[in-house]
Amino acid sequence: MFSSAISSGLVATLSLSGLALGHPARAASCDPVHIMIARGSTENTPGQLITLANDIIAAHPGTTYENINYPALLDPYYGPSVQQGTAAVKSQLTDYVKRCPDSKIVLLGYSQGAQITGDALCGGDAAGTTAPTPPIDAAISSHVTAVVWYGDPRHNVSASYNQGSATTDGLYVRPASQSCDAFSDRIASYCDFGDPYCSDGSLLWVHLTYPSRWDWPAAYFVDTKLGA
C-alpha cells in the first residue's frame, strides 16, 4: 500500500492539478476519436492528463473526452477504489463502443488511473488488494487504438511497451498471468527512475511530473496510432 508520508505529499500536490481548458467532455454524438481519462489518486477531474488530452485534441479536431468516474482514493481505501475504477473503465468503455463502434478510443491513465485501465484491459487484482477481475471482452478492447500510462504501479520492467528510465518493477507489478502483451503495440507506459510507485524509488516529484517530461512523446505516440 502507499505509505502515509508519500500519500500526504501526493494529496497536497495532485489535488491542485487538473484545470481543463474548455474542451468538450462526454458528448452525446459519436466522434472520430474519443479519449477516456483516468486521473491519478486524489486528483480533481480531469487531472494532469488534460494537458496530454489537449495536445491530442489539437492534432485531431473533433476529438472529445470523458473522465472515468471513480473515487481515486489512497489508503485505507486504495483497494476498493481500484476495484471501483476498474469496473468503471469497463462500463464506460463498453457503453461508448456499443454506441459508437466506428470511433477510435484513446485511454489515458495516471498512477492509479493507469492501474485501473490496465486491469480493465488485461485483468488484475492489484497484488491482492482487490478481488480478481477478468479482462474486458476482446470485442470491446479491440476498439482501443492507443493507451498511455504515466507512473503505473503495475509497471513490469520486462514489458515491451515500457518507456522512461526505470529499471525496477512497480509497487504492484503485473504478473505474466495478467500480461498486457496482447496490447503491446498500442501501449506506451512511462516510468522513470526514482518513482516510488511505478519503480522502487523515493522521489515523489518524479511521480508527479510526467506531463512536463513526456507529454510530447506521448502525444506523438498517439498520433502514430491514430494515423496522423
The grid coordinates listed for 212 are 512536463
Choose between 1 and 38: higher pLDDT: 38
- DSSP characters over 45-92: TT-TTHHHHHHHHHHSTT-EEEE-------TTSHHHHHHHHHHHHHHH
Closest CA to 170 of 194, 141, 137: 194
pTM for the full predicted model: 0.89
Q: Above 80 in pLDDT, residue 26?
A: no
Largest CA distance in the chain: 45
Q: Above 50 in pLDDT, residue 158?
A: yes
101: cis peptide before it, omega within 30°?
A: no
Q: What is the mean pLDDT of the chain?
A: 90
Q: At what angle do helices 112-122 and 78-99 cross, to 10 degrees?
A: 60
Q: Above 50 in pLDDT, residue 16?
A: no
Per-residue pLDDT, averaged over 181-200, amounts to: 98
Confidence of residue 2 (pLDDT cuts 50, 70, 90): very low
Question: What are the residue numbers of the active site?
Answer: 111
Is residue 37 within 8 A of residue 111, CB to CB? The reply is no
Residue 107 falls in which region: left (phi positive, over 0), alpha (psi -120 to 50) or beta: beta
Q: Above 90 in pLDDT, residue 29?
A: no
Is residue 75 within 8 A of residue 1, CB to CB? The reply is yes
The CATH T-level fold of domain 33-226 is Rossmann fold (3.40.50)
Spell out the domain ranges in the chain: 33-226
- Give the pLDDT confidence score for residue 125 in this predicted structure: 86
The share of the chain scoring above pLDDT 90, in percent, equals: 82
- Give the pLDDT confidence score for residue 131 in this predicted structure: 76
SS3 217: helix
